[in-house]
Chain A
Amino acid sequence: MTRRFDALTWYAVLFVAFLYGPVLLMPLFSVNDANFATFPLSGFTLRHYGAMAANASMMQALGNSLWVAVGVAVVSTALALPAALALARYRLPGKGPILGFIMLPLVVPSIVLGVALLVVIIQILGLRLSLWTVAAGHLMLCIPFAIVVLMSRLEGFDPSLEEASRDLGAPGLSTFLRVTLPLAAPGVISSLLLCFIISFDEFVISFFLTGTDTTLPVFLFSQLRFPNRLPGTLALGSLILLGSAVLVILAEAMRRRGLPSGGNP
């Protein structure tokens, strides 16, 4: 019995090593005093980070990404909260197909979503590509995730609390503001953080919809082709990974907060 436990535990450890190993090479080489990502390591340096901070076009791309991600996170969550409420609480005809349609971006390859939006924007609407078109693409990608997160939160607490509030005479909006929203708050924060992350890290759709103003991943992609820019790329990549990981942990912590912690979280 003990021996079997060991084998499976070792497997889990190896699994996590396989999952994180390649990714962690990036921060490792980003502080390595060399211009290629090679072993043996040749000494610790922060010069790649210094060079990166001095790169004006990169800071511009970072600013663009932050604006788009904040906007997309707020708008997707604002649209998803009433939708999640409707899907979790109300008896709607055709709920299944509607939910299936909204979840479509999770299974359609993103390149198809990207070119489809490109067709509408260029061929049909005749608009120019800009950060607005990028944001529209991100919105389509984030709304399904926001709805999933918020629905799981809304299903996690007792609807009789809302009924009690209505029975005591609070009108719909008042019940929403004073009962539903506070109970849903951790889910709302989690949704904001996840949408921010998805938008901030999104590459394929941005790649198709970006105009002259690029977002950080699109900028990063343009740097990947130049071997002499590798160290700066590694530094930028490491910071993106670190920032994303911190926000994911925060989002998960919020999502789990106050959920019933039984055997099936």
Chain B
Amino acid sequence: MASAGRSARTGAALLAPAFLVMAATLAAPLAALILLSFWTQDGFTIDRSLTLANYARVLTLSDEPTVWNGIPFPFAYPVPAILLVKSLTMSLVATAAVILIAWPMAYFLAFRVTRHKAVWIILLTIPFWTSYLLRVFAWKIVLGYNGAVNSGLMSLGIIREPLEFLLYNPVAVTITLAHSWIAFAVLPIYVSLDKIDRSLLEAASDLGDSRWARFRRITLPLSMPGTISATLLVFIPTVGDYVTPTLVGGPTGTMIGNLVQQLFTRQDNAPLGAAISILTMLVIAVLVLLFLRLVGWRHMRGRG
């Protein structure tokens, strides 16, 4: 049909400006990053011959201590692979915590809230849109040496000296990551729970299913598309997070993003930083595909 062809052409023309801007600011930079990762840098000179040396270095144990601003770098042996595994672990723990905590909240929103649903949803989305930097900073105030928890416990007479182990460690990073992303997880789970046809639950009830059986056989499986999206939406961006480990991580709480930042902004070795970024994205992509293969595709394509 002629009009369909014209329609597709008009559509493409309407889409083109946004697409071109995204190509220039997203596709081209990512392509450049990939290219850069195959170059090498020695001092300030960049060698443009293609090599896998950066990728090899990620997996090679190095025993030369790194110095940063005159002080030894937090991790004296910069082994990016170990740092990547640590980042993945912290993100996975944070993601698991987020899903477990967000799920009952989403259930409450879908099944218990009847009036003012919009108010609840806005209440939950506000923190997501407002400054991420400030939400992370807030945890520094909560957990710091002179922070709210320590001074609160001291003024209540529960402890005499401030607890030093609260801030600047992997646990603080994981808690802060979980807190920052939790609102983002409630919404997809809520949407899939809200879509569940209530007559299915009534039918199961009429046919004698117990409350638990209805939950296990209807509610939980039908919530999977949202639960899976929530898992991915939290896990993927947290692996490369830079703000949280910088502000609340301390020497032991650094993540892969901190290493990438060091390598780029201090003119140290941008090609190595590029290789680490690409490798991080690849590892995330492989994990996501494995996860989807294990639990996902069936649910994603189903009623979602």
Could you tell me which A residues sit within 8 Å of B by CB distance? Answer: 5, 8-9, 11-12, 15-16, 18-20, 22-23, 25-26, 29, 36-40, 79-80, 82-83, 85-87, 89-93, 98, 101-102, 104-113, 115-120, 123-124, 136-137, 139-140, 143, 147, 172, 194, 197-198, 201, 203-204, 208, 217, 220-221, 224, 233-234, 237, 240-241, 244-245, 248-249, 251-252, 256, 263-265
Q: Are the C-beta atoms of B142 and A83 separated by less than 8 Å?
A: no
Cα distance, A108 to B236, chains bound together (Å): 7
Cβ of B101 under 8 Å from chain A: yes
Q: Which residues of A contact B264 (CB under 8 A)?
A: 115, 118, 208
The residue in chain A whose Cβ has the minimal distance to the Cβ of B148 is: A25
Number of interface residues of B (CB under 8 A): 88
Q: Are A37 and B243 in contact, CB atoms less than 8 angstroms apart?
A: no
Q: Is the interface of A mostly helix, strand, loop or mixed?
A: helix
- A189 to nearest B CB, angstroms? 15
- In the complex, what distance in Å separates the CA atom of A5 from the CA atom of B112? 8
Contact of A107 (CB < 8 Å), options: B12, B25, B237: B237
Known: A22-B141, A201-B129, A220-B133. Contact between A104 and B123, CB under 8 A? no
Q: Does B126 make an interface contact (CB < 8 A)?
A: yes
Q: Is the interface of B mostly helix, strand, loop or mixed?
A: helix
Q: Report yes or no: B135 in contact with A90, Cβ–Cβ below 8 A.
A: no
The answer on a CB contact under 8 Å between A264 and B25 is: no
Asked if B247 and A224 sit within 8 Å, CB to CB, the answer is yes
- Given contacts A108-B281, A115-B274, A265-B118, A98 and B19 within 8 Å (CB-CB): yes
Quick check: is B18 within 8 A (CB to CB) of the other chain? yes
Please tell me if B182 contacts chain A, counting CB pairs below 8 Å. yes
Assembly CA distance A152 to B183 (angstroms) = 20
A29 to B142 CA separation, bound complex (whole angstroms): 11
* B240 A115 Cβ-Cβ under 8 A: no
> Smallest CB–CB gap between B125 and chain A, Å?
7
Binds A, one of B60-68, B103-111, B213-221: B103-111
